[in-house]
Amino acid sequence: MSKLWKVALREYKATVRTKGFIIGLVLAPILMGGGAIGMALFKDRVDTRDRRVAVIDRSGLLAEVLVRAANDRNSQVVIDRESGEKLRPAYLIEIVEPHETARDSQLLQLSEQVRRGQLHAILEIGEGVLHPRKHRETAVIAYYGANPALDEVRQWVGRPLNEELRRLRLVGAGIDPTTIPDAFDWIYPESLGLVSADPETGEIADADRSTELQALLLPLIPVMLMFLMIMMGASPLLQAVTEEKSQRIAEVMLGSVKPFQFMMGKLVGGVGVSLTAAAVYVVGGVLFVRHLELGEYIPYGILPWFFAFMVTAVFMYGALGAALGSACNDATEAQSMALPSMLPVMIPMFVMMPMVMNPESAFAIGLSLFPLFTPILMLLRQGTPSGIPLWQPWIGLFLVALTAILFVWAGSRIFRVGILMQGTPPKLGNIVRWAVRG
């Protein structure tokens, strides 16, 4: 067994055998998916205290309707019919006569009641709501509350109020609304993929239903996994190398192995760690998703690309981390290097959303072909429902592999000098000089 493999095996064992790795393996997906799982678990755990809303109806048309709508809703969804348990808050509408002269002080007085907790919110309906085009100034429905933007009652009141206004407008035009009950029915356009024919039978298959889940969530899952694998396989190298340098382990090692073998061994060990973790997640994930009978959503075609990008990415970022780590003298210096060394991984995470929305824009193509960003961004674009031309991931992979080789080469030169250089601060000038001169 060559020395490189012996170093790699030690690195691999030193990481995989620790409790930290096993705990991390379990915790990482929980933390990442934790938000979603938590929300699913606590979705029904709503605040069931009744919502008392004061309504000032200046139009004189809507207050009664709202009371009726609230009562209908309360009788249907608040109490579970079988168990008798209260599931949701009841909406209690209190009609307040509008004060003709002192509008502001009336609102202040009601706001104080909200602040004291006697009321939930205030709904003020303007005089001209029935014909907004005629009475632009007074065609207003205002909702005052402690946290109005995310208020569920505010989201609820829109529909009953507008339905009544539409009904009144028809009546005003002399039409009996009961004669056309579907006058205001709304049909949503469904999102569907393109139709394709079976190449063998020529049969035209139904188009796939495209959901937001598919368009937004699916491309993100491999990317999150990639991010996690880089964090597990490559990022620890920076601190580990600094530690070996400050504890003089490097000097002993360099008595037995060449600097290149030493660094490469560590990188191969890191690749092994991320392959192990990725295998656990991919196999586990596929089995879990199939168990949920959502197997059709698994992007099997992306998996080989995922592994190819992951291996090259760990080499690339790992070489960067090891080189920087060898230039640092202690844990504090390594700590301050951690952020700059992780920037190439963090930046793509910030531009993910615009990428998913427009995976074929020039911005997206350009950025995903920049080797430091390729492993994450190319994978993200490949996961979008429309997909991308096959030449792009190939070029991307080629460039990443080239960059990885360059980084390993330059990194091992920096490493060789840096690892024995005690007390020289990790300045960019020094690092570049070591890389150039060796």
Partner 1 sequence: MNAVEIDCVTKTFGKAVVAVDDLSLAVPAGTVYGFIGPNGSGKTTTLRMIMNILYPDRGSIRVFGAELHGACTDRIGYMPEERGLYKKMKVRELLEFYGGLKRNGNVRGEVSRWLERLDLTDWANKKVEVLSKGMSQKVQFIATVVAGPDLVILDEPFTGLDPVNTDVIREAVLEFQSAGTTVIFSTHDMGMAEKMCDFIFMIFKGRKVLDGTLESIQSEYGSDTIRVRAENGAGKITDIEGVERINNYGRYQELRVAGDRDPHDILSTIMARTRVTSFEITKPSLHDIFVRIAGEEAREVCNV
- Closest approach, Cβ 241 to partner 1, in A, equals 13
- Closest approach, Cβ 10 to partner 1, in A, equals 6
Among 50, 170, 258, 307, binds partner 1 (CB under 8 A): 258
Name the token pair of 47.
């605040």
Among 181, 199, 202, 255, binds partner 1 (CB under 8 A): 255
Strands 121-125 and 51-57: parallel
Residues 149-188 that bind partner 1 (CB under 8 A): none
The site for partner 1, by CB under 8 A, has a size of 21
Task: Report whether 333 contacts 426 (CB < 8 A).
Answer: yes
Q: What is the DSSP string of 149-209?
A: GG-HHHHHHHHHHHHHHHHHHHHHTT--GGG-TTTT---PPPPB----B-TTT-PBPPPPB
Give me the 15-54 binding string for partner 1, x by CB under 8 A, dash otherwise: ---x------------------------------------
Residue 154's identity, in one-letter code, is R
Among 220, 249, 338, 351, binds partner 1 (CB under 8 A): 249
- Quote the Cα angle for 203-208-212, to 5°: 170
Q: Which stretch binds partner 1 (CB under 8 A): 37-45, 159-167, 180-188, 244-252?
A: 244-252
Strand order in the sheet with 121-125: 91-96, 51-57, 121-125, 141-145
Query: If binding is defined by CB under 8 A, does position 3 make contact with partner 1?
Result: yes
What CA–CA distance (Å, rounded) separates 122 from 124?
6
Dmax (CA) of the chain: 98
Q: Strand, helix or coil at 143?
A: strand
Report the phi/psi class of residue 337: left, alpha or beta, with left for phi > 0 and alpha for psi in -120 to 50. alpha
Among 56, 250, 268, 367, binds partner 1 (CB under 8 A): 250
Query: If binding is defined by CB under 8 A, does position 329 make contact with partner 1?
Result: no
- Closest approach, Cβ 316 to partner 1, in A, equals 24
Q: What is the DSSP string of 214-260?
A: IIIIHHHHHHHHHHHHHHHHTTHHHHHHHHHHHTTHHHHHHTTS-HH
CA distances 363 to 309, 348, 383, 391, 397, Å, are 21, 12, 17, 17, 18
Query: If binding is defined by CB under 8 A, does position 436 make contact with partner 1?
Result: no
- Residues β-bridged to residue 79: 86
Please name the helix (run of DSSP H) or strand (run of DSSP E) that holds residue 422, with its range, or none. none
- Closest approach, Cβ 323 to partner 1, in A, equals 18
- Closest approach, Cβ 354 to partner 1, in A, equals 44
Residue whose C-alpha is closest to residue 352's, from 364, 344, 337: 364
Q: Which stretch binds partner 1 (CB under 8 A): 2-10, 229-237, 345-353, 381-389?
A: 2-10
Q: Which stretch binds partner 1 (CB under 8 A): 45-53, 65-73, 180-188, 243-251?
A: 243-251
Q: Which stretch binds partner 1 (CB under 8 A): 123-131, 252-260, 270-278, 364-372?
A: 252-260
**Residue burial 343-356, b: 16+ Cβ < 10 Å; e: rest:** ebbeebeebbeebb
- Closest approach, Cβ 153 to partner 1, in A, equals 58
- Closest approach, Cβ 321 to partner 1, in A, equals 19
CB atoms within 10 A of CB 214: 19
HEC profile for 248-264? CHHHHHHCCCCHHHHHH
Q: Which stretch binds partner 1 (CB under 8 A): 115-123, 241-249, 339-347, 378-386?
A: 241-249
Query: If binding is defined by CB under 8 A, does position 257 make contact with partner 1?
Result: yes
Among 118, 155, 247, 336, binds partner 1 (CB under 8 A): 247
Q: Which is nearer to partner 1, 9 or 286 (CB)?
A: 9
Among 103, 166, 248, 433, binds partner 1 (CB under 8 A): 248
Among 187, 256, 304, 410, binds partner 1 (CB under 8 A): 256
- Closest approach, Cβ 427 to partner 1, in A, equals 13
Rounded CA Rg of the chain? 31
Q: Which is nearer to partner 1, 3 or 167 (CB)?
A: 3
Q: Which is nearer to partner 1, 5 or 370 (CB)?
A: 5
Give me the 404-433 binding string for partner 1, x by CB under 8 A, dash otherwise: ----------------x-------------
Cα–chain center distance at 320: 26
- Closest approach, Cβ 40 to partner 1, in A, equals 39
What CA–CA distance (Å, rounded) separates 266 from 260?
10
Query: If binding is defined by CB under 8 A, does position 252 make contact with partner 1?
Result: yes
Residues forming the site for partner 1 (CB under 8 A): 1, 3, 6-7, 10, 14, 18, 244, 247-258, 420
